[in-house]
Structure formats: structure tokens, C-alpha cells
Amino acid sequence: MTKRLVEFKSEFFKALASPLRIRILDELRQGELTVTELRLRLNVEATNVSQQLAVLRSKHIVAGRKQGSNIYYRCVDPAIFKLLDVAKEIFNNHLVGVKDMLEAL
């Protein structure tokens, strides 16, 4: 694996290392949303949403499209949703393992 690829992966996962950024991406699964729409869905301050979108934009994970006075954000690559789904599957597998371990006790 090349050094550039390893660095890309590291920076990419750092961008995903926030629960709020993950929640934002999950909301963007259904399509474009504004900061206001995200704020209402996630029940967080608009400044928090904007800060997290800035991180995701800087890593080219989301992009914005201006329409009138609104900016609509979308996930750039739908493969990111597959990655989040795999993370959920790993989490569920972990829970099954913990459950089995607890039952064995």
C-alpha cells in the first residue's frame, strides 16, 4: 500500500471520527439537505452543523449547491453509505459476541 493511500485513509477516517458527522451523513442518505433541515432533524445548533459540514467538505465527503439563499448539502460518493453500513454490521457482530459471552457467564 502506498504512503499516499495510507495517508488518505487516515485523513478520511479522521473526518468520520465524530458522532455528529456520522449523523449528518446518515441524514444525507435520502438526498440533499440544508443546514436548517439538518439542525432540525438532529436537534443541534446550526453552528455545530456548519462546523461539521466544513470538516466533511474539506475532505471532499460532502458538497454544497447554492440555490437562492440556501445551500443544499449532499454526500459526494454513495460508497460512503456502504462503509457506514459495514460499520453498523461490525457493531452488530460485536454485540452478538458480547451477548454470547455474557450468556456463557
C-alpha cell at 24: 449528518
pTM of the model: 0.85
pLDDT tens-digit profile of 15-56? Answer: 999 999 999 999 999 999 999 999 999 999 999 999 999 999
User: Quick one: pLDDT at residue 94?
Assistant: 75
pLDDT tens-digit profile of 51-84? Answer: 999 999 999 999 999 999 999 999 999 999 999 9
- Measured CA to CA, the distance from residue 40 to residue 67 in angstroms comes to 20
- Identify the structural domains of the chain with CATH numbers, from first to last: 3-76 (1.10.10.10)
